[in-house]
Amino acid sequence: MRNSPRKLAILSTPMAILAATLTGCGGGGLGLTGGSVPIGGRSVSGTAVLPGSVVAANAAVTATVMPSGTSIGSTRTDGSGVFTLHNVPANADVDVVIKPSGGGQLEIVIPRATLGAGGGPLNIGEVDANSSLVAAALRLEQAPAPEDSDSIVGNQQSILDDQVKNGNFSQQQQNEFVNNPGSLNAQALTLMVPAANASLQALQQNPSQNTASAALNSLLGYLRAAHARDFHMNQGLRQSLLNTATAGTVYTPAQVAAAFQSAGVLGVTPAQVSAASTRERTELTALSTAGGNISALEAMVIAADVSSNGGLQCNQNAITNFLQTLLSD
């Protein structure tokens, strides 16, 4: 029950949400310590910089493995804000947190791909308010689903980096990020929609497993972090979604509604699916390149998102059953 493949991107148009009774829907470095982190690794250096280009001298620096929090080591910055951590493992995502002596916090996440590229000393450059904002967004995305942590860090960091650079945040805003965790996390949540749209556009322009994975993770971050939806998927379902997204397969609203019905989610009509799609595309504008049809990734969003945003707010089992039905037909 698939249409011929078609590339996916995004547009949008607001519309009324559905009101249906649905089944399952609604409503100086130290040595490594602890955990399974291997002994050995590489030296990692960087420079702690506060807003206004002020270096953070004599600041405490700690490094841990994401998402386990296993300690790697600690040190302090010198008078120029420079630090070096030794024996940083190259087979893990690493979170570096810096506590300036005057208060506040700086942070950066180093992906395992970066650590694994080459074996000599690695200079990660400046750790500042912008890197802290990216790190906060990554933590918000991976916290509800630690099983996806590696792929989230691996393909979301560069997308989030671009969104932060485009933000052109003022020094006052950067001070808020460094000194106010609430402001930092609130701003990090605002990155979820533009990051999702950027990743969907990249998928449309260059369909591949990598761009599909980035788009899927961005949408999951949008659902899990921005809209507090507790949704997980097994590796088999994830791979099926990636394959379908890479192929550019789209479905009609009637096909999506039929998959909901077959999966036991009753009361969903093609008109309601179209209305949900229209509402979702007000934010996820890149989805509109499918026109009147719906990609598998958009179908996932419709099933999982909160009803106030146009989604059907299905539970974990209903979402899984629906996607398995849709992707297998």
- Give the pLDDT confidence score for residue 11 in this predicted structure: 35
**Residue 241, amino acid:** L
Distance of CA 6 to the CA centre of its chain: 25
Specify the pLDDT at position 40: 59
CA distance 172 to 54: 14
Q: What is the pLDDT of residue 118?
A: 79
The CA distances from residue 49 to 108, 183, 254, in Å, are 12, 19, 54
How confident is the chain (329 residues) per 10-residue block, as mean pLDDT?
A: 38 37 52 40 95 97 94 97 96 96 96 89 97 97 89 93 94 97 97 97 97 96 94 94 97 98 93 97 96 97 95 95 93
What integer pLDDT is reported at residue 252 of this predicted model? 98
Residues forming beta bridges with residue 146, ordered by sequence position: none
CA angle 274, 279, 284 (to 5 degrees): 110
Q: Identify the pLDDT of residue 149.
A: 85
Pairwise CA distance, residues 309 & 162, whole Å: 26
- Smallest CA-to-CA distance from 8 within 280, 244, 326 is with 244
Per-residue burial over 245-269, b = 16 or more CB atoms within 10 Å of its CB, e = otherwise: bbbbbbbbbebbbbbbbbbebebbe
Helices 181-190 and 129-142 pack at an angle, to 10 degrees, of: 70
CA gap 64, 286 in Å, rounded: 36
C-alpha torsion 190→231→159→307, nearest 10:
-40
Strands (E), the chain: 42-50, 54-55, 60-66, 71-76, 82-88, 93-99, 106-110, 122-127, 250-251, 294-295
Token digits of residue 42? 């590489």
Phi, psi of 109 (to 5 degrees): -110, 130
pLDDT at 55: 97
Looking up tokens 């507790």 gives 230
pTM of the model: 0.86
Between the alpha carbon of residue 35 and those of residues 14, 63, 73, 148, 158, the distances in Å are 49, 13, 12, 19, 28
What pLDDT does 27 receive?
57
